[in-house]
Amino acid sequence: MERRIFLLGAGTLALSQLLSGCHPQTGNLFEIEFLRGSIPAIVVDRFRQQVQSSQARFTPVAQLQELFEQLQTWHQQANTTQQPQSSPLPFRRRARPQNPSALITLGDYWLSTAIQQQLIQPLNITQLQNWNALPSRWQELVRRNNQGEPDPQGQIWAAPYRWGSTVILYNRDRFHSLNWTPNDWSDLWRPELRSRISIVDQSREVIGLTLKRLGQSYNAQNLEQIPNLEEELRALHQQVRLYSSNRYIEPLIIGDTWVAVGWSTDVLPIMRRYREIAVVVPQSGTALWADVWVNPTNAALPHLASQWIDFCWQPQIAQQISLRSHGTSPIPVELPPGSRQNLTRIEFTNAQLQRSEFLLPLSATAQQQYEALWQTIRA
């Protein structure tokens, strides 16, 4: 999915400076490529201090799409005897390694495709000290069969280290005269919001929140059996002023829209800068996503790489990820005293979290239904 394009702040710049130092390429050196902004610099620093090793090189990459395409490039290189060609990936700052990195960040949305295309290999991590601290929901997310489908008996294909959600943003100033504020998906259909909504340009998200309004699952496999779905989507379409996956917040800030629907990692930096912008987690539940570590096919997994995965699940490190990365660690942790009033957070109740869902793989027939309905509505 095109999502989570981060605003680069001082923390990200400091991290880039910390990680960009050149290390000699040796047989013991291994590389970890991660989504920029998803791992705070202090976490990398503490890992190096704990293991007393500089053999791990951490490389930030701008977008999840670029990381997924890098997996495809490595796979193609491993299956051809020709000289590797130049990668067409955008936003390149330097030559990327020809050999696969030991670990790479992937979004859970790409996990099924990566397994099907044999871009990644299973992880043997159940013996790690903190695996059992990972709540069952996240363990189940990464247990898949060889077709990439969730399977309780499947192998473990990834290690979650951060998650976020789809949320509703609104401008407080615009709602003063209305005597109500949004708290669930059904509010997006209110007549006061006609042509006042900006929303991410993603069929699974838009159809999914409409399914939630109708009491259905984000992962419904047969849309034809759901009454009034197309009618509700057409009504929502009349409410939307802009579909965009990377500019949906701008109209809210300048007042062209009053409400926006987007991803929590994009939202948090905006909330800290614009105090008139508020955020709400829909009461009926929302879509969840996770950033995970994966091991590319044909890439060795050194002991230090397994240590890194376990390190990310340590309570003190999970706390730093939750405080500093605009995401939340899957390891349940308490924020330190005094931090809540100084940091903008998106709070979930247990009930909201239980009603929320990851976007799981659809059957080929269901995918066609989603795409056909999306094209019909947008036409």
Do the Cβ atoms of 287 and 165 come closer than 8 Å? yes
Q: Across residues 266-293, what is the average pLDDT?
A: 94
The pLDDT value recorded for residue 52 is 82
pLDDT at 27: 45
Average pLDDT over residues 121-148: 96
Widest CA span of the chain, in angstroms?
Answer: 68
Of 3.60.21.10, 3.40.640.10, 3.40.190.10, 3.40.50.12280, the CATH number of 10-163+289-324 is 3.40.190.10
Stretch 93-99: mean pLDDT, rounded? 55
**Lookup result for tokens 């936003």:** 91
Q: What pLDDT, on the 0 to 100 scale, is given for residue 55?
A: 82
Give residue-wise pLDDT tens across range 220-233: 999 999 999 999 99
pLDDT of 82: 45
Distance CA 242, CA 75 (A): 37
φ, ψ (nearest 5 deg) of residue 314: -65, 140
pLDDT of residue 216 exceeding 90, the answer is: yes
When mean pLDDT is compared across 154-163, 173-182, 203-212, 365-374, the lowest value belongs to 173-182
**How is residue 343 written in tokens?**
């940091």
Per residue in 36-51, pLDDT (tens digit) is: 999 999 999 999 999 8
Are 211 and 229 in contact, with CB atoms under 8 Å apart? yes
Is residue 5 pLDDT above 60, yes or no? Answer: no
Query: 357 - beta bridge partners?
Result: 287
Q: Which is nearest to 262 in space by CA: 169, 345, 344?
A: 169
**Coil, helix or strand at residue 370:** helix
What was the pLDDT predicted at 272? 83
Cα 248 to Cα 55: distance, rounded to the nearest angstrom: 41
For a pLDDT cut of 70, what percent of the chain falls above it?
Answer: 85
Same fold, 10-163+289-324 and 166-287+348-378: yes
Contact predicate 285/352, CB 8 Å: yes
- β-bridge pairing 259-263 and 197-199: parallel
What is the token pair recorded at 152? 């309780």
Residue 343 — pLDDT band, cuts 50, 70, 90?
A: low
The overall average pLDDT reported for the chain is: 88
CB atoms within 10 A of CB 116: 14
Query: Does position 280 have pLDDT exceeding 60, yes or no?
Result: yes
Tell me what pLDDT residue 22 has.
Answer: 39
334 CB-near residues (< 8 Å, 6+ apart): 319
The string of pLDDT tens digits covering residues 30-89 is 899 999 999 999 999 999 999 887 788 999 999 999 999 999 999 999 887 444 444 444
**Above 90 in pLDDT, residue 4?**
no
Task: Tell me the pLDDT tens digit for each residue of 190-211.
Answer: 999 999 999 999 999 999 999 9
pLDDT in tens, 308-333: 999 999 999 999 999 999 999 999 98
Calpha distance 162→326 (Å, rounded)? 9
User: Which segments within the chain are labelled E, that is strand?
Assistant: 30-35, 56-61, 103-107, 120-121, 143-144, 155-156, 159-171, 197-199, 240-243, 259-263, 277-280, 287-296, 357-358
- The 10s digit of each residue's pLDDT in 145-173 is 999 999 999 999 999 999 999 999 999 99
Comparing 307 with 272, which gets the higher pLDDT?
A: 307
Break the chain into its structural domains and give their ranges.
10-163+289-324, 166-287+348-378
Q: Distance (Å, rounded) from C-alpha 216 to C-alpha 261? A: 19
DSSP string, 13-37: HHHHHHH-S-----TT-EEEEEETT
For 166-287+348-378, CATH gives 3.40.190.10
